[in-house]
Structure 1
Amino acid sequence: MPMSPTNPPPLTRKELDAQLGGAARAWLDEALAEAEHAAYHQDTEQPGSPYAAPPWELRYAAAGRHCGLEHADSVRALLLVEAGAALPALTRLYEQGTAAERRAVLLTLHRLDLGPTALPLVEDALRTNDTRLIAAAVGPYAATHLEAHSWRHAVLKCLFTGVDVEAVDGLARRARGDAELARMLGDFAAERLAAGRDVPAGLTHVLALTTPGAAAPTEES
């Protein structure tokens, strides 16, 4: 199974401005202004009350159409950060969105002040077999907030679905000395071999990281 690509970092506003045409930049200016306005009026949304999506959420869905699919993740991340998106808005965007819109939510969680409250979104993505969502779900937010048992299963899910383990943020740090992860990897490899299937290339790499004497990472991986 081919390995999926890891997640490239989103472009900054300055980098986007250098790549977008005039009409797209004007659209982005308006979208970010609407998101900024919403950030100061979040308390107007009452739990359980009828709610119409604010303009910036509609812009979120339209990002690819106006700024190009190659820039959609970066534009959506900027909107979420500018709006200071809270969990109710993130949940709406995730549950009602396309796979690309869900992916952008997952990629931006670590840039928002959420604590562990958005873990249900990560856990939902990890239950899918969509490699784009899985790769996004194992980013910095999961590295910080997923508890050990769920994180180990996330690593195995990457191996099972062909997601490049380099997508797992904090892999070297969290795997180091993890005997339980080593056991799970061994069991997984044995099951694959018994079934006459190849062992994913990334498994050996992760297994090496679990040894107690593995060198501490010089940077997050």
Structure 2
Amino acid sequence: MLTALTELTDGSPARAVQAALEEHLAGADRAWLHEALAEAEAAERAGAAAGAEAEAVGRSAYALPTWERRFAEAGRHCHPARSGPSGPSAEDLADAARVLLLHTVRADHDTTTRLYTHGSAAERRAVLLALPHLSAYAPPASALALVEDALRTNDTRLVAAAVGPYAAEHLDQHAWRHAVLKCLFTGVPVDAVDGLAPRARGDAELARMLRDHAAERTAAGRPVPDGLHRVLALTADCDTADRPHVTAAPTEES
């Protein structure tokens, strides 16, 4: 389900994305989604009008909109229509619904920051997943603080969401290297790192950091994650003549 949302950008067929989400929702949950999106659309229209009026009179006109309550309760209203291992999970459906709500309301920097700061882990994850789809409504890189906060946690789903397309576009190379190491530390699969191959290729400093991490784990008798070897191989363009032999050890997928 979230795969369909990767193409969700300003001007894209949001109705088609909504239809794809509805296909996986149980009947009552589809009705909930209709109401939630209608409220988000109304809030977006009212917000623009209220903002113009507030600017004219020199005062704030913000009031907590109903759609934010819908955003918070999505986990209780996104059940798969069909059970089974092949379809999206309830968590994936809730993520998709929240991302679609944020896109519909054209959430700006203040909105995403507020929802992330005061939200549950699931709500924070949805904000992180939505960031690439909200770039038209906020200054460039304005949400990096949210990504950096998620990368300081040990919540693997937050870390995985934080290393998506937004981080690939806006994290500088130093911070990005540490994000890759964070995935290895916490067991997040390196496949979660968007743009991994082009950014890792030829990065001698990343190669050094990976070697140090591998050496530390080997010295402690701990397995070196398979993901580390994969990323180290991507740095080989600058480094094939001087790659160390990592002591063989049991591996674990990371």
TM-score scaled by length of structure 1: 0.86
User: RMSD of aligned C-alpha atoms?
Assistant: 2.2
Deviations 1:119-177 (A, max 9, x none): 00000000000001000000000000001100000000000110000000000011111
Corresponding residue of 1:9: 3
The structure, 1 or 2, with the larger RCO (C-alpha pairs under 8 Å, 6+ apart) is 1
Structure-2 separation of matches of 1:118 and 1:156: 21
Aligned positions of 1:1-221 closer than 5 A: 8-9=2-3, 12-43=17-48, 44=50, 52-68=63-79, 69-70=90-91, 71-113=93-135, 114=138, 115-212=140-237
1:17 shift after superposition: 1.9
- Which region of structure 1 is more displaced relative to structure 2, 142-151 or 186-195? 186-195
Structure-1 separation of matches of 2:74 and 2:4: 14
Query: Which runs of structure 1 show a deviation greater than 6 angstroms over 4 or more consecutive aligned residues?
Result: none
> Contact 1:10–1:73 (CA<8 Å) still a contact in 2?
no
Matched-pair identity in %: 63
Corresponding residue of 1:217: none
> Contact 1:10–1:77 (CA<8 Å) still a contact in 2?
no
Q: Secondary structure at the match of 1:117?
A: coil
Structure-1 separation of matches of 2:112 and 2:131: 9
Q: Return the letter of the residue paired with 2:116.
A: Y
TM-score scaled by length of structure 2: 0.76
What runs of 5+ residues in structure 2 fail to find an aligned partner? 6-16, 80-89, 240-254
Q: Secondary structure at the match of 1:123?
A: helix
Q: Return the letter of the residue paired with 1:196.
A: G
Structure (1 or 2) with the larger CA radius of gyration: 2
Q: Secondary structure at the match of 2:129?
A: helix
Structure-2 separation of matches of 1:204 and 1:156: 12
Structure-2 separation of matches of 1:83 and 1:208: 42
Q: Secondary structure at the match of 1:62?
A: helix
What runs of 5+ residues in structure 1 fail to find an aligned partner? 1-6, 215-221
Structure-2 separation of matches of 1:106 and 1:137: 6
> Contact 1:93–1:102 (CA<8 Å) still a contact in 2?
yes
> Contact 2:204–2:238 (CA<8 Å) still a contact in 1?
no
Deviations 1:23-59 (A, max 9, x none): 222221111111112223445467x969542111110
Structure-1 separation of matches of 2:63 and 2:160: 31
Structure-2 separation of matches of 1:173 and 1:159: 18
- Which region of structure 1 is more displaced relative to structure 2, 29-38 or 49-58? 49-58
